[in-house]
Amino acid sequence: MLSDGLLDQEDAILKWMRDRYLRELVSDRGGAKRNVKESLSVLNLNPYFTFPAVALVETAAAAEGGPGRTARVERMRDDLQQCAGDGSVVFLDEEGRIGLLFSWLAQDAVESIRKRLTLQSVPVNIGVGKPCRRLSEVHVSYRQAALALRNKFYRGTGQIIHFSEADRYQPLQEYPAGEEKRLYEAVKAAASAEEIREAVDEFYRFVLRNGPLDIQHVYELTVRLLIGMEKKALSDAGNGSAYKRFDIMTLIKLETLQELKRYVAAYLAGLRDSVAQSGKANHRSIIKKTISYMERECRCATLNSAAKNVYMTPAYLSLLFKMNTGKTFIEHLTDIRIDKAKEMLRSTHLKNYEVADKVGYQDPRYFSQIFKKKVGVSPSEYRESQGK
């Protein structure tokens, strides 16, 4: 009688031989298609399948890493073989995925596997190929199962995805530059992380409005989006030292669209906060330059001309002005004009209408109204009080 150690060793060798043969069979190489039934019988596997098909079970990335992965997959393979029944064959493919060779009439075994793993809290994706007429054709079903797994990107984790139901992808026709700009404005205006997530969802809804895109194009589009958002943020802040650039390798390892959107939203929230901190000093510099311009050109200064002078949009300059000074642009410009008018009334003999014109008021009566509202007396009364 063999000892337990020798039995375990023989069992391990048999598993290895089965996996090697089935890998060759599903990859259509090594002459495995010849005498398939005989080969399966020699390996103590079921040689009879009615419309054979292949399913591939892939654990989600979050459950794959860490030490002991191989041992975990081996245990899962042994457990699933019991769940699948004697009529099906469980094996490990070259990608480390668990393969299931089964008869199409017994396809309930695939659902049983999904339920079993769900109860064990193991996140998986299962791709199912179409049934074949004979065992020598299962390499076609295997390739289809692998292609079906790609749809996890849009379907999410924990799904059984049949090749016959898989989405058909289309290429990205044109990069949505306008939507990138709208997303950037939404991120700047967002009051919470949730609002940023909603803005990111809206961006991808627009991109996918005509159907799912080729997955590689979605990754490329996302990389271009984040680069564009970085450039816009740094242009506004004028400082590139306060934020951490996104990691392309981390991004392309994300397996589903939901994971990708969560990454983008989190990155944009961090980018906004980091650049906002580094941009405070730059904002103060911009306001200082704007006020200096207003004092030099108070006669003809406008929000548009001031914004052009500091290379900003009028709306954004107006927002910065209010945030940093507590006054609107017009309120501050009015104060500058009235201060200059007071100086002229004290130190020159210019007529009131001449003073009004020099500080930017073409209507002397309107100038008098504004002056009295700000100073408490009319221009003439102010001049008299100063002894002029």
Q: What pLDDT sits at residue 2?
A: 46
Phi, psi of 18 (to 5 degrees): -65, -50
Global confidence as pTM: 0.62
Q: What pLDDT sits at residue 243?
A: 61
- Give yes or no for residue 287 having a pLDDT over 80: yes
Show the DSSP H helices in the chain as ranges.
4-27, 36-42, 61-64, 69-84, 108-119, 138-149, 152-155, 177-189, 193-207, 215-237, 248-252, 257-296, 303-309, 314-325, 329-347, 352-358, 364-375, 379-385
Report pLDDT digits (tens) over 49-90. 999 999 999 887 544 555 567 778 888 888 888 877 778 899
Report pLDDT digits (tens) over 299-322. 999 999 999 988 888 888 888 888
Return all residues near 243 (Cβ < 8 A) that are at least 6 apart: 230, 233, 270, 271, 274, 275, 278
DSSP 154-178: HH-SS-EEEGGGPPPPB---S--HH
Q: Find the mean pLDDT for residues 338-342.
A: 92
- Give yes or no for residue 290 having a pLDDT over 60: yes
- Give yes or no for residue 178 having a pLDDT over 90: yes
- Closest by CA to 290, choosing from 270, 316, 262, 264, is 316
Report pLDDT digits (tens) over 213-254. 999 999 999 999 999 998 888 776 655 445 667 788 888 888
Q: What is the dihedral of CA 375, 378, 379, 384, to 10 degrees?
A: -100
Find which of 146-155, 198-207, 273-282, 287-296 is predicted with most confidence, using mean pLDDT.
198-207
Q: How large a percentage of the chain has pLDDT more than 90?
A: 45
Q: What pLDDT sits at residue 245?
A: 75
- Closest by CA to 44, choosing from 9, 15, 2, 8, is 15
The whole-chain average pLDDT of the chain stands at 86
